[in-house]
Structure 1
Amino acid sequence: MKDIPSNMKVRVLLAQALFGNPDILLLDEPTNGLDIETIGWLENFLADYENIVLVVSHDRHFLDAVCTHVSDVDRSKIKTFTGNYTFWYESSQLMARQINDKNKKNEDKRAALLDFIARFSANASKSKQATSRKKALEKLTIEEIEPSNRKYPGIIFQPLREVGNQILNVENLSKTVDGRKQFDKVTFSVNKGEKIAFISRDPSAVTSFFEIINDNQTADTGKFEWGTTITKAYLPVENNDFFTEGLGLMDWLRQYVPPTVTDADEPFIRGFLGKMLFTGDDIAKKTNVLSGGEKVRSLNTKVSPLQQPALQLNLNGVTCRLFKAEIQ
């Protein structure tokens, strides 16, 4: 196992979990490291699986494909809904709106009752009506809405300036690693407004391609050119090299402040960390002890081309992603 790539380890562990047709199948982020074809196979397998499956996943499309029930863990309580992830999300939003609407109507009714009681309690001819209003007021309930303890990071990518029409041009790009051709004569152009996903049965081929267009590796043949108006950043699938020094989060983030920013004082840095949900004692953390999700949140502020951007993010982080950049 120690000699095989991490994406292959996921497949081996998945095969181990599926072996023997267990009564209960527990899957923790099963789509991490799987290619699209394997995810599709797993979705079909689990949809037809007759025994119990309990799955934790950040992949809402996967959850929609395989889940018949969703258990929502919030404020130390668990509520189970019948249906897939999308049904749960839409239902929970609808329930919250309905409770808010009902409470607003009751608040308006409460104000009207209190106003009538205040004006006519001392009026002999209206005393019975006022007493009736008091009884109605006692029966009126305002349903308490507990705010969710979910927090959504402020993941917002916005270009520094308006870009031109040409984003990226790739011509005849080829790469061979250890005698194996990863890709051959890749040619394409990316224009303003386009969004492109790179998929492959071999994740290392996509990694090599992204490393090349970010000047971290060299191609065997071919060339690429970014548009003259483009400022790029890169979130690699392997990000441990960014966190080897064990800096505190404040010092770690400070090294990435653009030179054009002259007021990067402590409140400024704390503000950015707060957007990524690092508050209180979390700010004192050393970067070499961050979890996978915390590392991705830390790096998300400097990202444009994305390789596995949702990997390690929870559903809150995936859902809140707002892109104003021209290429992802």
Structure 2
Amino acid sequence: MEPDEGTYKWGVTTSQSYFPKDNTELFNRDETIVDWLMPFSPEKDPTYVRGFLGRMLFPGEDGIKKVNVLSGGERVRVMLSKMMILASNVLIMDEPTPHLDMESITALNNGLIKFNGVVLFTSQDHQFIQTIANRIMEITPGGLIDKISTYDEYLDSDEMARKRQILSVSAEEDD
């Protein structure tokens, strides 16, 4: 994953997993779910991969389903399986919830709450943001607003509204 501009440097002890908003290209293959996940597995045993799939509601023969016929929600669950297999300590997620049903969103929320690492995410799902986020970073045309708070506290904050207004005016003046 390369930035459009600028640079970044990961810490030496970080390992990252990326969940793209549009994952269609990743699944344009004629292979099974197990075969798709095997390259990411530290154990080269299909049984190990099937264990992760079982936790993601792909029991038994579902693991031999072809990835190019998966629904949006199934692709999300496969991507989450990949992230679990990689056991990264930094998760980068771009809109993970739109293709999930309520039960799956709740399970994802609970898993991320228990996750002992960093989660960077974008979302339009208010409840998901409120449940998961403890720091809000809003990227505006005028700059970055960074606040350690819940999402609701951030939205209700007069201080943050003033910062947004100042950055908005600053961006308009720069144009």
Residue 77 of structure 2, aligned match among 280, 297, 319: 297
Aligned partners of 1:287 and 1:325: how far apart in 2?
30
Q: 2:30 — aligned with what?
A: 246
Aligned equivalents of 1:285 and 1:257: distance in 2?
18
**1:269 and 1:326, CA in 2 relative to 1: closer, same or farther beyond 3 A?**
closer
Match of residue 10 from structure 2: 226
TM-score (norm. length: structure 1): 0.31
Conserved 8 A contact 1:243-1:288: yes
Local SS of the residue matching 1:270: helix
Q: Normalization by structure 2: what TM-score?
A: 0.56
Cα distance change on mapping 1:272 and 1:306 into 2, 3 Å: same
| Per-residue deviation, 1:325 | 3.6
CA distance, structure 2, for counterparts of residue 309 and residue 288 of structure 1: 19
1:282 is paired with a residue whose SS is helix
The equivalent of 1:310 in structure 2 is 97
Runs of 4+ in structure 1 off by over 4 angstroms are none
CA distance in 1, matches of 2:58, 2:52: 9
- Bigger helix share: 2
Indicate how the Cα distance of structure 1 residues 316 and 235 shifts in structure 2: closer, same or farther if over 3 A, else same: same
> 1:308/1:283 Cα in 2 relative to 1: closer, same or farther (>3 Å)?
same
CA distance in 2, matches of 1:254, 1:302: 9
> Once the 2 structures are TM-superposed, how far is the Cα of residue 286 of structure 1 from its aligned partner?
0.4
Aligned to 1:268: 48
What value does the CA root-mean-square deviation take over the aligned residues? 1.6
Aligned residue number for residue 319 of structure 1: 106
Displacement of 1:246 in angstroms is 1.6
* Alpha-carbon shift at residue 257 of structure 1 (Å): 1.0
| Residue segments in structure 1 that go unaligned for 5+ positions in a row | 1-213
The number of residue pairs the alignment matches comes to 108
Whether the 8 Å CA contact 1:234–1:302 is kept in 2: the answer is no
**Residues in 2 aligned to 1:313 and 1:282: alpha-carbon distance in whole angstroms:** 18
8 Å contact kept, 1:250–1:269: yes
Q: What 5-or-longer segments of structure 2 have no aligned partner? A: 84-90, 120-175
Q: Does 1:237 align with 2:24?
A: no
